[in-house]
Structure 1
Protein backbone atom coordinates (compact mmCIF):
# COMPACT_ATOMS: atom_id res chain seq x y z
CA UNK A 1 0.00 0.00 0.00
CA UNK A 2 1.22 3.47 -0.87
CA UNK A 3 1.99 5.91 1.93
CA UNK A 4 1.19 9.07 0.07
CA UNK A 5 -2.37 8.36 -1.07
CA UNK A 6 -5.56 10.34 -1.26
CA UNK A 7 -7.90 10.36 1.77
CA UNK A 8 -8.96 6.81 2.50
CA UNK A 9 -12.64 7.22 1.52
CA UNK A 10 -13.11 3.55 0.69
CA UNK A 11 -11.96 2.63 4.18
CA UNK A 12 -14.39 5.08 5.78
CA UNK A 13 -17.33 3.56 3.88
CA UNK A 14 -16.38 -0.08 4.26
CA UNK A 15 -18.15 -2.01 7.00
CA UNK A 16 -16.24 -5.26 6.70
CA UNK A 17 -12.61 -6.30 6.65
CA UNK A 18 -10.95 -9.24 4.95
CA UNK A 19 -9.70 -12.20 6.99
CA UNK A 20 -6.10 -10.95 7.03
CA UNK A 21 -7.24 -7.53 8.20
CA UNK A 22 -9.09 -9.16 11.08
CA UNK A 23 -5.91 -10.85 12.27
CA UNK A 24 -4.13 -7.49 12.22
CA UNK A 25 -7.03 -5.85 14.08
CA UNK A 26 -6.93 -8.48 16.79
CA UNK A 27 -3.17 -8.10 17.12
CA UNK A 28 -3.46 -4.32 17.54
CA UNK A 29 -6.00 -4.87 20.32
CA UNK A 30 -4.02 -7.64 22.01
CA UNK A 31 -2.53 -6.67 25.34
CA UNK A 32 0.65 -8.58 24.43
CA UNK A 33 1.54 -5.94 21.82
CA UNK A 34 4.42 -4.02 23.50
CA UNK A 35 3.16 -0.46 23.14
CA UNK A 36 3.42 0.50 26.82
CA UNK A 37 -0.28 1.15 27.42
CA UNK A 38 -0.26 -0.78 30.69
CA UNK A 39 2.37 1.56 32.14
CA UNK A 40 -0.26 4.30 32.29
CA UNK A 41 -3.39 4.64 34.43
CA UNK A 42 -4.95 7.61 32.57
CA UNK A 43 -4.90 9.57 35.81
CA UNK A 44 -6.67 6.85 37.82
CA UNK A 45 -3.81 6.44 40.28
CA UNK A 46 -3.86 10.16 41.10
CA UNK A 47 -7.66 10.07 41.31
CA UNK A 48 -7.49 7.22 43.80
CA UNK A 49 -4.91 8.93 45.99
CA UNK A 50 -6.86 12.19 45.91
CA UNK A 51 -9.97 10.23 46.99
CA UNK A 52 -11.87 11.12 43.84
CA UNK A 53 -12.25 7.39 43.21
CA UNK A 54 -13.10 5.37 46.31
CA UNK A 55 -15.96 3.01 45.53
CA UNK A 56 -16.80 0.74 42.61
CA UNK A 57 -19.40 3.26 41.49
CA UNK A 58 -16.75 6.01 41.53
CA UNK A 59 -14.55 3.79 39.37
CA UNK A 60 -17.30 3.21 36.81
CA UNK A 61 -18.01 6.95 36.68
CA UNK A 62 -14.30 7.69 36.21
CA UNK A 63 -14.01 5.20 33.33
CA UNK A 64 -17.06 6.70 31.61
CA UNK A 65 -15.68 10.22 31.94
CA UNK A 66 -12.30 9.04 30.64
CA UNK A 67 -14.01 7.54 27.61
CA UNK A 68 -15.97 10.77 27.09
CA UNK A 69 -12.74 12.77 27.14
CA UNK A 70 -11.10 10.28 24.79
CA UNK A 71 -13.99 10.49 22.37
CA UNK A 72 -14.27 14.28 22.39
CA UNK A 73 -10.55 15.08 22.33
CA UNK A 74 -8.72 12.19 20.65
CA UNK A 75 -11.15 10.45 18.28
CA UNK A 76 -11.01 13.40 15.84
CA UNK A 77 -7.26 12.85 15.50
CA UNK A 78 -7.70 9.09 15.09
CA UNK A 79 -10.39 9.64 12.46
CA UNK A 80 -8.45 12.25 10.47
CA UNK A 81 -5.30 10.10 10.40
CA UNK A 82 -7.28 7.03 9.32
CA UNK A 83 -9.02 8.62 6.35
CA UNK A 84 -5.84 10.36 5.19
CA UNK A 85 -2.91 8.04 6.06
CA UNK A 86 -0.02 9.97 4.59
CA UNK A 87 3.07 11.71 5.91
CA UNK A 88 1.89 15.30 5.61
CA UNK A 89 -1.44 14.66 7.29
CA UNK A 90 0.19 12.68 10.09
CA UNK A 91 2.77 15.41 10.79
CA UNK A 92 0.10 18.13 10.87
CA UNK A 93 -2.14 16.13 13.21
CA UNK A 94 0.81 15.30 15.45
CA UNK A 95 1.79 18.95 15.85
CA UNK A 96 -1.81 20.04 16.40
CA UNK A 97 -2.37 17.45 19.13
CA UNK A 98 0.87 18.42 20.85
CA UNK A 99 -0.41 21.99 21.06
CA UNK A 100 -3.87 20.82 22.16
CA UNK A 101 -2.96 18.60 25.13
CA UNK A 102 -3.20 20.69 28.26
CA UNK A 103 -0.96 18.94 30.78
CA UNK A 104 2.58 17.64 30.59
CA UNK A 105 1.75 14.22 32.06
CA UNK A 106 -0.82 13.46 29.35
CA UNK A 107 1.50 14.83 26.68
CA UNK A 108 4.42 12.62 27.73
CA UNK A 109 2.18 9.55 28.03
CA UNK A 110 0.81 10.13 24.53
CA UNK A 111 4.30 10.50 23.07
CA UNK A 112 5.62 7.41 24.87
CA UNK A 113 2.78 5.19 23.69
CA UNK A 114 2.76 6.61 20.17
CA UNK A 115 6.52 6.17 19.77
CA UNK A 116 6.24 2.56 20.95
CA UNK A 117 3.30 1.83 18.64
CA UNK A 118 5.09 3.25 15.61
CA UNK A 119 8.21 1.22 16.40
CA UNK A 120 6.18 -1.98 16.83
CA UNK A 121 4.05 -1.37 13.74
CA UNK A 122 7.12 -0.75 11.56
CA UNK A 123 8.65 -4.02 12.78
CA UNK A 124 5.51 -6.18 12.74
CA UNK A 125 3.52 -5.06 9.70
CA UNK A 126 6.30 -5.51 7.17
CA UNK A 127 3.76 -5.82 4.36
CA UNK A 128 3.47 -2.01 4.70
CA UNK A 129 7.12 -1.02 4.14
CA UNK A 130 6.33 2.69 4.18
CA UNK A 131 5.67 2.47 7.94
CA UNK A 132 9.36 1.84 8.46
CA UNK A 133 10.28 4.58 6.00
CA UNK A 134 7.95 7.10 7.64
CA UNK A 135 9.26 6.27 11.11
CA UNK A 136 12.88 6.59 10.03
CA UNK A 137 12.25 9.95 8.41
CA UNK A 138 10.33 11.23 11.44
CA UNK A 139 13.10 10.25 13.85
CA UNK A 140 15.26 12.97 12.34
CA UNK A 141 13.15 15.50 14.25
CA UNK A 142 10.04 17.60 14.14
CA UNK A 143 7.60 14.79 14.97
CA UNK A 144 6.38 14.01 18.50
CA UNK A 145 4.75 10.62 17.71
CA UNK A 146 1.52 11.25 19.64
CA UNK A 147 -0.50 8.07 20.10
CA UNK A 148 -3.88 8.98 18.56
CA UNK A 149 -2.54 10.10 15.15
CA UNK A 150 -0.12 7.15 15.01
CA UNK A 151 -2.94 4.71 15.81
CA UNK A 152 -5.11 6.20 13.06
CA UNK A 153 -2.20 6.23 10.62
CA UNK A 154 -1.34 2.57 11.21
CA UNK A 155 -4.96 1.48 10.95
CA UNK A 156 -5.48 3.53 7.80
CA UNK A 157 -2.43 2.02 6.11
CA UNK A 158 -3.59 -1.45 7.10
CA UNK A 159 -6.89 -0.75 5.35
CA UNK A 160 -9.21 -0.58 8.34
CA UNK A 161 -12.40 1.44 7.99
CA UNK A 162 -12.63 4.60 10.06
CA UNK A 163 -15.49 3.49 12.30
CA UNK A 164 -13.76 0.25 13.30
CA UNK A 165 -10.57 2.18 14.03
CA UNK A 166 -12.35 4.68 16.28
CA UNK A 167 -14.16 1.92 18.19
CA UNK A 168 -10.84 0.10 18.59
CA UNK A 169 -9.26 3.23 20.09
CA UNK A 170 -12.08 3.55 22.59
CA UNK A 171 -11.75 -0.14 23.44
CA UNK A 172 -8.02 -0.01 24.21
CA UNK A 173 -8.61 3.06 26.39
CA UNK A 174 -11.30 1.22 28.36
CA UNK A 175 -9.15 -1.90 28.55
CA UNK A 176 -6.11 -0.07 29.88
CA UNK A 177 -8.02 1.95 32.50
CA UNK A 178 -9.73 -1.19 33.83
CA UNK A 179 -6.40 -3.03 33.84
CA UNK A 180 -4.92 -0.19 35.92
CA UNK A 181 -7.87 -0.42 38.31
CA UNK A 182 -7.16 -4.13 38.79
CA UNK A 183 -3.50 -3.53 39.61
CA UNK A 184 -4.47 -0.74 42.00
CA UNK A 185 -6.76 -3.23 43.81
CA UNK A 186 -9.83 -1.14 43.08
CA UNK A 187 -11.50 -4.18 41.53
CA UNK A 188 -10.67 -7.88 41.22
CA UNK A 189 -10.05 -9.71 37.91
CA UNK A 190 -13.58 -11.13 37.73
CA UNK A 191 -15.10 -7.81 38.76
CA UNK A 192 -13.00 -6.10 36.09
CA UNK A 193 -14.41 -8.41 33.42
CA UNK A 194 -17.96 -7.71 34.60
CA UNK A 195 -17.25 -3.97 34.68
CA UNK A 196 -15.83 -3.99 31.16
CA UNK A 197 -18.91 -5.81 29.88
CA UNK A 198 -21.23 -3.35 31.62
CA UNK A 199 -19.39 -0.29 30.34
CA UNK A 200 -19.29 -1.66 26.78
CA UNK A 201 -22.72 -0.31 25.72
CA UNK A 202 -21.83 3.10 27.17
CA UNK A 203 -18.53 3.07 25.28
CA UNK A 204 -20.44 2.28 22.09
CA UNK A 205 -22.83 5.18 22.59
CA UNK A 206 -19.92 7.54 23.27
CA UNK A 207 -18.12 6.26 20.18
CA UNK A 208 -21.16 7.02 18.04
CA UNK A 209 -21.56 10.43 19.69
CA UNK A 210 -18.01 11.58 18.89
CA UNK A 211 -17.32 9.56 15.74
CA UNK A 212 -16.23 11.02 12.40
CA UNK A 213 -15.47 14.54 13.60
CA UNK A 214 -12.70 16.77 12.34
CA UNK A 215 -9.89 18.02 14.59
CA UNK A 216 -11.45 21.50 14.67
CA UNK A 217 -14.17 19.95 16.88
CA UNK A 218 -11.74 18.36 19.37
CA UNK A 219 -12.44 19.48 22.92
CA UNK A 220 -12.25 18.55 26.62
CA UNK A 221 -15.55 17.50 28.16
CA UNK A 222 -14.28 16.51 31.64
CA UNK A 223 -11.55 19.02 32.56
CA UNK A 224 -11.40 17.79 36.18
CA UNK A 225 -9.94 14.48 34.99
CA UNK A 226 -7.30 16.36 33.03
CA UNK A 227 -6.42 18.35 36.14
CA UNK A 228 -6.19 15.19 38.26
CA UNK A 229 -3.93 13.50 35.75
CA UNK A 230 -1.67 16.55 35.77
CA UNK A 231 -1.11 15.96 39.50
CA UNK A 232 0.34 12.50 38.93
CA UNK A 233 3.91 13.76 39.00
CA UNK A 234 3.42 15.10 42.54
CA UNK A 235 2.42 11.74 44.03
CA UNK A 236 4.80 10.55 46.77
CA UNK A 237 4.59 6.93 45.60
CA UNK A 238 3.48 5.77 42.14
CA UNK A 239 2.93 2.49 40.35
CA UNK A 240 2.25 4.01 36.92
CA UNK A 241 4.00 6.51 34.68
CA UNK A 242 0.85 8.59 34.28
Structure 2
Protein backbone atom coordinates (compact mmCIF):
# COMPACT_ATOMS: atom_id res chain seq x y z
CA UNK A 1 0.00 0.00 0.00
CA UNK A 2 1.46 3.35 -1.07
CA UNK A 3 2.14 5.72 1.78
CA UNK A 4 0.70 9.20 1.30
CA UNK A 5 2.94 12.13 2.08
CA UNK A 6 2.48 15.87 2.05
CA UNK A 7 -0.19 18.02 3.65
CA UNK A 8 -3.26 16.92 1.71
CA UNK A 9 -4.82 15.46 4.88
CA UNK A 10 -4.48 18.81 6.67
CA UNK A 11 -6.29 20.98 4.11
CA UNK A 12 -9.97 21.75 3.87
CA UNK A 13 -12.01 21.47 0.69
CA UNK A 14 -10.85 24.92 -0.46
CA UNK A 15 -7.20 23.95 -0.14
CA UNK A 16 -6.70 26.10 2.97
CA UNK A 17 -5.59 25.17 6.44
CA UNK A 18 -8.49 24.73 8.86
CA UNK A 19 -8.93 27.38 11.55
CA UNK A 20 -7.88 25.56 14.71
CA UNK A 21 -5.95 26.71 17.74
CA UNK A 22 -2.87 24.65 16.92
CA UNK A 23 -2.68 25.82 13.30
CA UNK A 24 -3.30 29.45 14.24
CA UNK A 25 -0.33 29.25 16.59
CA UNK A 26 1.95 28.55 13.63
CA UNK A 27 0.46 31.60 11.89
CA UNK A 28 1.09 33.71 14.97
CA UNK A 29 4.74 32.68 15.00
CA UNK A 30 5.03 33.43 11.31
CA UNK A 31 3.80 36.98 11.93
CA UNK A 32 6.96 37.57 14.02
CA UNK A 33 9.32 35.86 11.58
CA UNK A 34 11.84 38.18 9.95
CA UNK A 35 11.34 36.33 6.66
CA UNK A 36 7.81 37.78 6.36
CA UNK A 37 8.23 40.45 3.63
CA UNK A 38 6.74 43.46 5.38
CA UNK A 39 9.68 45.82 4.82
CA UNK A 40 10.69 46.27 8.44
CA UNK A 41 14.37 45.85 7.67
CA UNK A 42 14.28 48.84 5.30
CA UNK A 43 13.89 51.16 8.28
CA UNK A 44 16.33 52.09 11.05
CA UNK A 45 13.85 53.95 13.31
CA UNK A 46 16.00 57.06 13.01
CA UNK A 47 19.20 55.24 14.02
CA UNK A 48 21.01 56.08 10.77
CA UNK A 49 20.35 59.79 11.28
CA UNK A 50 21.33 59.49 14.96
CA UNK A 51 24.70 57.98 14.00
CA UNK A 52 25.45 60.67 11.44
CA UNK A 53 24.47 63.34 13.97
CA UNK A 54 26.89 61.74 16.48
CA UNK A 55 24.00 61.12 18.83
CA UNK A 56 24.91 57.43 18.75
CA UNK A 57 28.57 56.54 18.30
CA UNK A 58 29.29 53.51 20.49
CA UNK A 59 27.52 50.37 21.79
CA UNK A 60 26.60 52.08 25.06
CA UNK A 61 24.79 54.79 23.11
CA UNK A 62 23.06 52.13 21.05
CA UNK A 63 21.57 50.42 24.09
CA UNK A 64 20.18 53.72 25.36
CA UNK A 65 18.82 54.50 21.89
CA UNK A 66 17.04 51.15 21.58
CA UNK A 67 15.47 51.59 25.01
CA UNK A 68 14.24 55.08 24.08
CA UNK A 69 12.78 53.76 20.83
CA UNK A 70 10.94 51.07 22.79
CA UNK A 71 9.67 53.64 25.29
CA UNK A 72 8.35 55.79 22.47
CA UNK A 73 6.82 52.76 20.77
CA UNK A 74 5.10 51.73 23.96
CA UNK A 75 3.68 55.15 24.75
CA UNK A 76 2.62 56.12 21.23
CA UNK A 77 1.85 52.94 19.29
CA UNK A 78 0.88 50.20 21.75
CA UNK A 79 -2.53 51.83 22.38
CA UNK A 80 -3.33 51.43 18.68
CA UNK A 81 -2.13 47.81 18.66
CA UNK A 82 -4.19 47.08 21.77
CA UNK A 83 -7.40 48.68 20.53
CA UNK A 84 -7.45 46.82 17.22
CA UNK A 85 -6.47 43.52 18.85
CA UNK A 86 -9.48 43.56 21.16
CA UNK A 87 -11.78 44.80 18.39
CA UNK A 88 -10.43 43.42 15.08
CA UNK A 89 -13.04 44.81 12.70
CA UNK A 90 -12.87 47.18 9.76
CA UNK A 91 -14.70 50.05 11.49
CA UNK A 92 -12.29 50.12 14.45
CA UNK A 93 -9.28 49.78 12.17
CA UNK A 94 -10.34 52.67 9.91
CA UNK A 95 -11.08 54.92 12.88
CA UNK A 96 -7.71 54.24 14.51
CA UNK A 97 -5.89 54.59 11.20
CA UNK A 98 -7.25 58.12 10.82
CA UNK A 99 -6.35 58.95 14.42
CA UNK A 100 -2.77 57.74 14.06
CA UNK A 101 -2.37 59.57 10.76
CA UNK A 102 -3.31 62.79 12.54
CA UNK A 103 -1.07 61.98 15.52
CA UNK A 104 2.18 61.34 13.62
CA UNK A 105 3.77 64.74 12.99
CA UNK A 106 7.12 63.36 11.84
CA UNK A 107 6.75 62.88 8.08
CA UNK A 108 9.56 60.30 7.91
CA UNK A 109 7.97 58.15 10.61
CA UNK A 110 4.56 58.63 9.03
CA UNK A 111 5.72 57.37 5.63
CA UNK A 112 7.56 54.44 7.24
CA UNK A 113 4.41 53.47 9.13
CA UNK A 114 2.34 53.56 5.94
CA UNK A 115 4.87 51.57 3.91
CA UNK A 116 5.17 48.83 6.52
CA UNK A 117 1.45 48.75 7.23
CA UNK A 118 0.56 48.48 3.54
CA UNK A 119 3.06 45.66 3.12
CA UNK A 120 1.80 43.82 6.19
CA UNK A 121 -1.83 44.01 5.06
CA UNK A 122 -0.91 42.81 1.56
CA UNK A 123 1.11 39.88 2.94
CA UNK A 124 -1.50 38.96 5.56
CA UNK A 125 -4.30 38.90 2.97
CA UNK A 126 -2.22 36.65 0.69
CA UNK A 127 -0.80 34.32 3.36
CA UNK A 128 -3.45 33.92 6.05
CA UNK A 129 -6.16 32.37 3.92
CA UNK A 130 -7.67 30.82 7.04
CA UNK A 131 -8.89 34.36 7.85
CA UNK A 132 -11.22 35.00 4.87
CA UNK A 133 -12.16 38.51 6.01
CA UNK A 134 -8.67 39.90 5.39
CA UNK A 135 -8.89 40.07 1.60
CA UNK A 136 -12.24 41.89 1.41
CA UNK A 137 -11.14 44.23 4.20
CA UNK A 138 -8.04 45.16 2.23
CA UNK A 139 -9.94 45.52 -1.07
CA UNK A 140 -12.63 47.70 0.50
CA UNK A 141 -10.02 49.89 2.16
CA UNK A 142 -7.99 50.30 -1.02
CA UNK A 143 -11.03 51.26 -3.05
CA UNK A 144 -12.20 53.79 -0.46
CA UNK A 145 -9.05 55.87 -0.85
CA UNK A 146 -9.43 57.17 2.70
CA UNK A 147 -7.25 54.64 4.55
CA UNK A 148 -3.53 55.30 5.07
CA UNK A 149 -2.69 51.72 6.18
CA UNK A 150 -0.59 52.63 9.22
CA UNK A 151 1.37 49.73 10.65
CA UNK A 152 0.40 49.62 14.35
CA UNK A 153 -3.39 49.35 13.85
CA UNK A 154 -2.94 46.74 11.10
CA UNK A 155 -0.58 44.70 13.28
CA UNK A 156 -3.18 44.69 16.06
CA UNK A 157 -5.92 43.84 13.57
CA UNK A 158 -4.03 40.83 12.22
CA UNK A 159 -3.10 39.70 15.74
CA UNK A 160 -6.72 39.87 16.80
CA UNK A 161 -7.92 37.92 13.77
CA UNK A 162 -5.23 35.29 14.40
CA UNK A 163 -6.51 34.79 17.93
CA UNK A 164 -3.71 36.50 19.85
CA UNK A 165 -4.62 37.94 23.21
CA UNK A 166 -3.99 41.62 23.89
CA UNK A 167 -0.91 41.09 26.07
CA UNK A 168 0.81 38.85 23.53
CA UNK A 169 0.10 41.17 20.60
CA UNK A 170 1.51 44.20 22.42
CA UNK A 171 4.66 42.36 23.49
CA UNK A 172 5.01 41.04 19.94
CA UNK A 173 4.95 44.60 18.60
CA UNK A 174 7.67 45.62 21.04
CA UNK A 175 9.67 42.55 20.02
CA UNK A 176 9.63 43.28 16.28
CA UNK A 177 10.55 46.92 16.97
CA UNK A 178 13.52 45.85 19.09
CA UNK A 179 14.53 43.22 16.51
CA UNK A 180 14.45 45.64 13.59
CA UNK A 181 16.34 48.52 15.19
CA UNK A 182 19.10 46.19 16.43
CA UNK A 183 19.28 44.60 12.98
CA UNK A 184 19.73 48.09 11.53
CA UNK A 185 22.59 48.71 13.96
CA UNK A 186 24.31 45.57 12.68
CA UNK A 187 24.05 46.67 9.05
CA UNK A 188 25.32 50.12 10.01
CA UNK A 189 28.42 48.44 11.52
CA UNK A 190 27.70 49.80 14.97
CA UNK A 191 27.68 46.32 16.49
CA UNK A 192 28.54 42.83 15.27
CA UNK A 193 26.06 39.94 14.94
CA UNK A 194 27.09 38.36 18.25
CA UNK A 195 27.06 41.69 20.02
CA UNK A 196 23.62 42.37 18.57
CA UNK A 197 22.31 39.08 19.95
CA UNK A 198 23.74 39.87 23.38
CA UNK A 199 22.24 43.35 23.28
CA UNK A 200 18.81 42.04 22.30
CA UNK A 201 18.88 39.60 25.20
CA UNK A 202 19.87 42.35 27.65
CA UNK A 203 17.28 44.84 26.40
CA UNK A 204 14.54 42.20 26.58
CA UNK A 205 14.35 42.72 30.35
CA UNK A 206 13.73 46.43 29.84
CA UNK A 207 11.30 45.71 27.01
CA UNK A 208 9.23 43.56 29.37
CA UNK A 209 9.03 46.38 31.92
CA UNK A 210 8.14 48.95 29.25
CA UNK A 211 5.50 46.66 27.78
CA UNK A 212 3.79 46.32 31.13
CA UNK A 213 4.12 50.05 31.78
CA UNK A 214 2.29 51.05 28.59
CA UNK A 215 0.07 48.01 28.13
CA UNK A 216 -3.72 48.12 27.69
CA UNK A 217 -4.00 51.89 27.33
CA UNK A 218 -6.62 53.61 25.22
CA UNK A 219 -5.63 55.60 22.14
CA UNK A 220 -6.62 58.79 23.98
CA UNK A 221 -3.57 58.18 26.20
CA UNK A 222 -1.12 57.81 23.30
CA UNK A 223 1.79 60.25 23.58
CA UNK A 224 5.41 60.92 22.65
CA UNK A 225 7.89 60.28 25.46
CA UNK A 226 11.11 60.88 23.47
CA UNK A 227 10.55 63.94 21.26
CA UNK A 228 14.30 64.20 20.59
CA UNK A 229 14.23 60.85 18.79
CA UNK A 230 11.30 62.06 16.74
CA UNK A 231 13.28 65.17 15.76
CA UNK A 232 16.37 63.15 14.84
CA UNK A 233 14.37 60.76 12.68
CA UNK A 234 12.81 63.75 10.93
CA UNK A 235 16.31 64.71 9.74
CA UNK A 236 16.75 61.43 7.88
CA UNK A 237 15.60 62.89 4.56
CA UNK A 238 18.40 65.45 4.71
CA UNK A 239 21.24 62.93 5.03
CA UNK A 240 23.73 63.09 2.16
CA UNK A 241 24.01 59.29 2.01
CA UNK A 242 21.34 56.87 3.23
CA UNK A 243 21.14 53.10 3.57
CA UNK A 244 17.62 53.01 5.06
CA UNK A 245 14.29 54.56 4.17
CA UNK A 246 13.81 56.01 7.63
Q: Could you state the TM-score of these two structures normalised by the residue count of structure 2?
A: 0.91
**Which of 226, 232, 235 matches 1:231?**
235
1:107 shift after superposition:
0.3
1:26 shift after superposition:
1.2
Q: Report what 1:83 is aligned to.
A: 86
Q: Report what 2:67 is aligned to.
A: 64
Q: Structure 1, unaligned stretches of length 5 or more?
A: 1-16
Instruction: Measure, in 1, the Cα distance between the counterparts of 2:25 and 2:76.
Output: 27
Q: Report what 2:183 is aligned to.
A: 179
Work out whether residues 21 and 160 of structure 1, in 8 Å CA contact, stay in contact via their aligned partners in 2: no
1:102 shift after superposition:
1.4
Q: Report what 2:193 is aligned to.
A: 189
Instruction: Measure, in 2, the Cα distance between the counterparts of 1:240 and 1:104.
Output: 15
Work out whether residues 40 and 240 of structure 1, in 8 Å CA contact, stay in contact via their aligned partners in 2: yes
Query: 1:122-154: per-residue Cα shift (whole Å, max 9, x none)?
Result: 000001111000000000110000000000000
Instruction: Measure, in 2, the Cα distance between the counterparts of 1:56 and 1:18.
Output: 41
**Which of 44, 47, 50 matches 2:47?**
44
The aligned runs of 1:135-150 (5 Å cut-off) are 135-140=138-143, 141-150=145-154
Work out whether residues 40 and 109 of structure 1, in 8 Å CA contact, stay in contact via their aligned partners in 2: yes
**Which of 117, 120, 128 matches 1:117?**
120
Q: Report what 1:107 is aligned to.
A: 110
Instruction: Measure, in 1, the Cα distance between the counterparts of 2:215 and 2:50.
Output: 27
2:217 counterpart of 1:216 = no
The aligned runs of 1:144-183 (5 Å cut-off) are 144-183=148-187
Instruction: Measure, in 2, the Cα distance between the counterparts of 1:100 and 1:185.
Output: 33
Q: Structure 2, unaligned stretches of length 5 or more?
A: 1-19
Q: Report what 1:12 is aligned to.
A: none
CA RMSD of aligned residues (A): 0.9
1:21 shift after superposition:
2.7
1:61 shift after superposition:
0.1
1:25 shift after superposition:
1.6
Q: Could you state the TM-score of these two structures normalised by the residue count of structure 1?
A: 0.92
Which of the pair has more CA radius of gyration? 2
2:62 counterpart of 1:97 = no
Instruction: Measure, in 2, the Cα distance between the counterparts of 1:23 and 1:155.
Output: 12
Where has structure 1 moved over 6 Å in runs of 4 or more? none
